[in-house]
Amino acid sequence: MKITFHGHSCFEIEHEKHRLIIDPFLTGNPVAKAKPEDIRADYILLTHGHGDHVGDTVTIAKNNNATVIAPFELATWLGWQGVNTHGMQHGGGFNFEFGRVKMTLAFHGSAYITENKEIIYLGNPAGFLLTLGGKTIYHAGDTSLFSDMKLIGMNKKIDLAMLPIGDNFTMGPEDALIAAEWVNAEHVIPMHYNTWPPIEQDGEAFVKALEKKGIKGTALAVGESISI
């Protein structure tokens, strides 16, 4: 299974014949190298409705006839834009052709802000537990540290966790270290940092702090991939 980091919270997952992308914020992302037309995806997973996560979803979905998996309200809103969707809610799981998705809690906001100074509520934010190819991946979405993270890794071994470390809008490195321990992650990739000045962090320093706790960490450069 190949996992490629496209900056911010966007990850592309390739497994056998399936291609997934999470939170495809490419256009307007100052660190992204890929363009929407470069992306081939069967499924798009969205953690919440902010523009820096929904990003190029509609374009990519229509280019690829892809299905968007998202919190129910966000999925409904995207469906009105002619996109194939599968809505979910916290605690629920579903078996797709590529594997299983379970939606987890995340503590953040979720809304689309229009040019007319309107705020469109798009449901509660979420994280995802993805089980495919005998591996379990946890994408935490945008979130603070919360004690129920201890339950996420209780019944299932987390092979890889993507955790935000940017601070300001999400948990920072110190809380993300605690989160890595609480979800009992074997391997952690930091995300949601260094996109803009308010969320500048040292990914390599975070990885070193993880390793002191006996947790493997990788700070991927934009466009870099790993295999698990």
Angstrom CA distances, 177 to 184, 208, 210, 222, stand at 11, 11, 7, 22
pLDDT classification of 156: cutoffs 50, 70, 90: confident
The rounded percent of the chain whose pLDDT value lies above 90 is 98
The DSSP annotation for 179-202 comes to HHHHTTBSEEEEES-SSSGGG---
Model pLDDT, residue 142: 98
pLDDT classification of 13: cutoffs 50, 70, 90: very high
The rounded distance, in Å, linking the Cα atoms of 210 and 181 is 9
**162-189 residue pLDDT tens:** 999 999 999 999 999 999 999 999 999 9
Q: Rounded mean pLDDT of the chain? A: 97
Model pLDDT, residue 184: 95
**26-75 residue pLDDT tens:** 999 999 999 999 999 999 999 999 999 999 999 999 999 999 999 999 99
Model pLDDT, residue 43: 98
The rounded percent of the chain whose pLDDT value lies above 70 is 100
Which pair of structure tokens corresponds to residue 54?
Answer: 């929904």
Phi-psi region of 67 (alpha: psi -120 to 50; beta: other; left: phi over 0): beta
Model pLDDT, residue 197: 98
Phi, psi of 201 (to 5 degrees): -145, 165
Model pLDDT, residue 10: 98
- Residues forming a β-bridge with 190: 163
User: Is the pLDDT assigned to residue 99 strictly greater than 90?
Assistant: yes
Domains of the chain: 2-227 (3.60.15.10)
The DSSP annotation for 49-66 comes to S-HHHHTTHHHHHHHHTP
Model pLDDT, residue 153: 87
**54-65 residue pLDDT tens:** 999 999 999 999
